[in-house]
Amino acid sequence: MSLLVLGSIALDTVKTPLEERKELFGGTASYASISASFFTNPSLVAIVGDDFPSEYIEDFQRRNIDLSGLQRVPGKTFRWSGEYFDNMNNRKTHSTDLNVFADFTPTLPEAYSTLPFILLANIGPDLQLHVLDQLQSPRFVIADTMNLWINIARADLLKLLTRIDLLSLNDSEARELTGQNNLIQAGALLRKMGPTYVAIKKGEHGCYLFGPDQFFSCPAYPLENIQDPTGAGDAFAGGMAGYLASRFSDSNSKEPINFEILQQAVVYGSIMASFTVESFGTDRLRSVEQKEIEERWKVFKKVSTF
């Protein structure tokens, strides 16, 4: 084990201009850990109710995702319902039922406290901080966030930014958190808030990666078939974190985590996000084969320099 993934597990109802699907296997931790499992063996920290389908638990296990940190309690699993419009860049949330997630207090198994790579997937910053307090000396911490936490938990979020190595967020969130419309200026301001690196996701327009006096613009993988964009950002973060954990699987490795390696991690994250949007929920992500990942890597090498 080398990567801890904290986040939510949900049963989603998603409507797009194409169709509507109910009770989909979703949640930030689901997308992130499944994505990361193509590179390393993640350790999952999340909560589900007793109504959560056993087939999804078995899918986690088949992917060598450690479930020692998964709480299974009486009650209903977290549910989210939303609808996408037009080109699927615009989304409306219809309902959010926290259910057992409302009382979630993540307590790490002892073995998790020494894991070197940490992915704090999109979840309340108070819970992200709570998990950080239980870790001994993580080597690299990635955190994701969203507009909701910027609006209702800004103080905790700003505190979190001083304790992480890389912040992952989308372009609208970067603008809202910094008050800057220009994403280059926003990236620089976000770095001043604490994280050494910042990844700003721009959907079909790719991703910006910022470092100390360094910048990388990663294109998006060209897709004709987009079914459901839910979870793409979580899969991006999971692929990025999973790749980093695989590069440094030897806990005694002294190789520095430099900007060039992070560029490669961003590309792999973008590849995993590209698979996610090709079907509803985690369906496409769970059917990916390793050779498909490498085929898309070759495409990125042709269109980008990293």
Phi, psi of 79, rounded to the nearest 5 degrees = -130, 140
50-69, pLDDT tens digit by residue? Answer: 999 999 999 999 999 999 99
What's residue 250's pLDDT? 66
How many domains are contained in the chain? 1
With a CB cutoff of 8 Å and minimum separation 6, the contacts of 302 are: none
Q: Are strands 140-144 and 207-211 parallel, antiparallel or unpaired?
A: unpaired
- What is the C-alpha radius of gyration for the chain, rounded to an integer number of angstroms? 18
Which segments of 167-223 does DSSP mark as H helices, in order? 171-178, 183-192
What's residue 86's pLDDT? 82
At residue 169, the 3 state secondary structure works out as strand
113-128, pLDDT tens digit by residue? Answer: 999 999 999 999 999 9
One-letter amino acid of 77? T
**Termini Cα distance of the chain:** 28
Q: Are strands 90-97 and 79-85 parallel, antiparallel or unpaired?
A: antiparallel
Phi, psi of 235, rounded to the nearest 5 degrees = -65, -35
Which segments of 133-258 does DSSP mark as H helices, in order? 147-152, 154-161, 171-178, 183-192, 232-247
**Domain that includes residue 191, residue range:** 3-303
One-letter amino acid of 129? L
What's residue 252's pLDDT? 52
258-300, pLDDT tens digit by residue? Answer: 999 999 999 999 999 999 999 999 999 999 999 999 999 999 9
- Enclosing H/E stretch for 30: helix 28-36
Starting from the edge strand earliest in sequence, which strands make up the sheet with 20-26, in order? 20-26, 10-15, 79-85, 90-97
What's residue 164's pLDDT? 98
- DSSP one-letter code for 274: H
Low-confidence ranges of the chain (pLDDT < 50): none
At residue 125, the 3 state secondary structure works out as helix
CATH code assigned at 21: 3.40.1190.20
